[in-house]
Amino acid sequence: MKIFDAKQIYAADSFTIQKQQITSDELMERASLQLFHWLHQRMQGAPVKIHLFCGIGNNGGDGLALARHLQEHGYHIEVNIVNYSEKRSPDFLTNLDRLKARKIWPNILNGDSAFPSIGVDDIIVDAIFGIGLNRSPAPWVVDLMKNLKATGAFILSVDVPSGLFMDRGIEDPEFAVEADFVLSFQAPKLVFFLPETARYIKQWDVLDIGLDPEFLEKTETTYKLMGKAEVLPLYRPRQKFSHKGHYGHALILGGSYGKIGAVILSTSACLRVGAGLVTAYVPQCGLLPLQIACPEAMVLTDKGEKYISQIEFDLEPSAVGAGIGLGTEKETVSALSAFLDAQKSAMVLDADALNILSQNRKLLDKIPEGSILTPHPKELERLLGSWKDDFEKLQKTREFSVNHRCIIVIKGAHTTICAGEKCYINNNGNPGMATAGSGDVLTGFITGLLSQGYEPLAAAIFGVFLHGMAGDLAATEQGFEALTANSIIDFIGKAYIELLRPPQTQEQQTEETEA
């Protein structure tokens, strides 16, 4: 699913209006009807008071049109116009006239107005700003938004929570509505997936308002949301007459005294995701633990007892994952530098390999083209430097990806894969995966996919998705708190099965729900 920016959404509106020979008012009516149907399907005329807060632009026009449909179907509504400017959009005025023609008289809220009384069991519809906001709200509007939150009522935002910008962060955390649910027109918005804006969007859904499919299909976007439908075509089925040699020989390189467990996790994950052969390269202290924990893997040891000091091996791996538990000793830095000189194929670099790169910037030029870097937020900051907001973070990540010809996997909720100017946002996973070793498992998954012949970008996207799906399946049985990195490994088989499961029909979904 593509994630469009504000300019592209406005362009899609204009293109649709021109091609389909409709007016902007008719397009707004489509949007309001979709909003109404979504609400009506869930409420079925429930006697709940609905407070609509409408701005004076097109987002407010959507809210006014929704109010009309709600009133016509017997809902108890109160309409409030947030009068933050003297300018009004034509479609807002059209829908205001329609309300007045039905004897619905909105409350006009200004800077000196008392806030409406709202009960905790009421519903609030936020249609104040939408996607067109270009400056921070006036102080009295901020106070209004704080009041909405303080009521404890359920808040439904139209398109985006009011106060959020589409292309930059907000100046103050209090400057936006915290929505319980967001109904987004046609496609999700980037702000739905960023750490800094997560508090404003608890849940969301997309409403199809009939924007022209040709425009949507042909318009290129920087960001795409990756779900099962987008990931499934990446899967490479196994052939009947195949053997372990067909699925590559992966090398997991890392470990130091006290951190051999990280290599065990990554090696196990690499095997379980489907690599034909896996060898772990570790300091001598890691030999016995790995041979016991991973009997299917082979083990090579460095000359160093407690940390890697000179990387030497007599094999040609089809994929390498390096850095897990590696440490940053002086000899280890030199060994990694020499190894990068010799390594020409794309590889996965994680953990201390990234810390070494951050501390020794000249080594960045040695990264093989197409390599996959998998930093957590602090490791990313060490690579890029600080950023003022998540939008700048993504911009700097894309620039780093271009300059160093690599793929960056920004780990976290909605893990984002940046490959040059394109970014792919993962749409599964859960808070239970915020646990020690989860990142080591991801490195093993991606390395194992690389070894099987997946192209680097496909391996990164597919590995992140399988990682999240396995975590979700594990959480359904174990809960968030009990989930461990080994749980993710244990559920990778079920993740493959779930990926290949045909979509359920409506009848099957109904039967499952009733059961």
- Residue 234, domain member (yes or no): no
Distance between CA 439 and CA 447 in Å, rounded? 12
**Does 198 share its domain with 286?**
no
Determine whether the annotation assigns residue 126 to a binding site.
yes
Considering the domain architecture, whether residues 251 and 215 belong to the same structural domain is answered as no
In this structure, the answer to whether residues 287 and 145 fall within a common structural domain is no
Question: Which domain CATH number covers 468?
Answer: 3.40.1190.20
pLDDT reported for residue 304: 97
| Proportion of the chain above pLDDT 90, given as a percent | 96
What domain range is 448 assigned to? 247-500
Per-residue pLDDT tens for 238-255?
999 999 999 999 999 999
- For the chain, the 3-state helix, strand and coil shares in percent, each to the nearest 5, are 45, 15, 35
Q: Do 107 and 182 fall into the same domain? A: yes
Residue 445 pLDDT greater than 70, yes or no: yes
Predicted confidence (pLDDT) per residue in 46-56, tens digit: 999 999 999 99
Burial status of residue 105 (CB atoms within 10 A of its CB: 0-12, 13-18, 19 or more): exposed
- Which of helix, strand or coil describes residue 213? helix
Q: In sequence order, what are the residues at sequence separation of 6 or more whose Cβ sits closer than 8 angstroms to the Cβ of residue 89?
A: 56, 57, 58, 60, 61
Distance CA 327, CA 329 (A): 6
In a domain? residue 233: no
Could you tell me if 183 and 327 lie in one domain? Answer: no
Indicate whether 48 and 161 sit together in one domain.
Answer: yes
Say yes or no to pLDDT of 504 above 80.
Answer: no
Residue 487 host element (H or E): helix 485-490
Averaged pLDDT score across all residues of the chain? 96
* 376 annotated as belonging to a binding site for a ligand: yes
pLDDT in tens, 132-141: 898 999 999 9
* Confidence at residue 202, expressed as pLDDT on a 0 to 100 scale: 96
1-41 per-position pLDDT tens digit: 899 999 999 999 999 999 999 999 999 999 999 999 999 99
Q: Averaged over 82-95, what is the pLDDT?
A: 95
Tell me which of 221, 255, 289 is where a domain ends. 221
**Rounded to an integer, what distance in angstroms lies between the CA atom of residue 425 and that of residue 26?**
33
Tell me whether residue 60 is annotated as binding.
yes
Tell me: is residue 414 an annotated ligand-binding position.
yes
CATH number of 123's domain:
3.40.50.10260
Q: Are residues 166 and 279 in the same domain?
A: no
By DSSP bridging, strand 76-82 and strand 107-109 are parallel
For residue 397, pLDDT beyond 90: yes
411 is in an annotated binding site: yes
Contact 372, 458 (CB under 8 A): no
CA distance 384 to 130: 32
Residue 160 confidence (pLDDT) = 97
Q: Are residues 307 and 168 in the same domain?
A: no
Judge whether 413 is annotated as a binding position.
yes
pTM: 0.94
Residue 114 among known ligand-binding residues: no
For residue 509, being part of any structural domain is answered with no
Angle between helix axes 260-272 and 492-500 (nearest 10 degrees) is: 30
Both 47 and 156 in one domain: the answer is yes
Same domain assignment for residues 207 and 277: no
Q: Is residue 474 part of a domain?
A: yes
- Is residue 350 a known part of a binding site? no
Is the pLDDT score of 503 beyond 80?
no
58 annotated as ligand-binding: yes
440 marked as part of a ligand binding site = yes
Residue 513 has pLDDT above 60, yes or no: no
* H/E stretch holding 282: strand 277-282
Which two tokens mark 395? 């911009």
Alpha carbon dihedral 381, 382, 385, 386, in 10-degree steps, equals 40
Tell me how far apart the alpha carbons of residues 185 and 195 are, in angstroms, rounded to a whole number.
22
Three-state secondary-structure class, residue 50: strand
By CB atoms closer than 10 A (0-12, 13-18, 19+), residue 18 is exposed
Residue 465 has pLDDT above 60, yes or no: yes
Q: Consult the annotation and say whether 159 binds a ligand.
A: yes
Do 251 and 150 have their domain in common? no
Residue 502: which pLDDT band, with cuts at 50, 70 and 90?
confident
pLDDT at position 511 is: 59
Total domains present in the chain: 2
Mean pLDDT of 228-244: 95
Overall average pLDDT of the 389-410 stretch: 98
Residue 267 shares a structural domain with residue 174: no
Q: Give every CB contact of residue 451 below 8 A, 6+ residues apart in sequence.
A: 247, 248, 249, 250, 270, 275, 276, 278, 317, 318, 319
Q: pLDDT tens-digit profile of 281-336?
A: 999 999 999 999 999 999 999 999 999 999 999 999 999 999 999 999 999 999 99
- Domain assignment present for residue 281? The answer is yes
For residues 185-190, average pLDDT:
96
Confidence class for position 508, pLDDT limits 50, 70, 90 = low
Q: What are phi and psi of 419, to 5 degrees?
A: -130, 95
pLDDT of residue 172: 93
Please say if the pLDDT value at position 515 is more than 90.
Answer: no
Task: Report the amino acid identity of residue 428.
Answer: N
- pLDDT of residue 512 exceeding 60: no
Last residue of a domain, one of 221, 237, 260: 221
Can you tell me the mean pLDDT for 508-514? 56
Do the domain assignments include residue 242? no
Q: What is the pLDDT of residues 352-385, one digit of tens each?
A: 999 999 999 999 999 999 999 999 999 999 999 9
Report if residue 338 sits inside a domain: yes
Question: For residue 350, is it within any domain?
Answer: yes
Residue 509 pLDDT level (bands cut at 50, 70, 90) = low
Choosing from 204, 221, 238, the residue where a domain stops is 221
Is 262 annotated to bind a ligand? Reply is yes
DSSP 29-47: HHHHHHHHHHHHHHHTT--
Give the C-alpha separation, 436 to 282, whole Å: 20
Runs of H (alpha helix) within 48-122: 58-72, 90-101
Residue 68 has pLDDT above 80, yes or no: yes
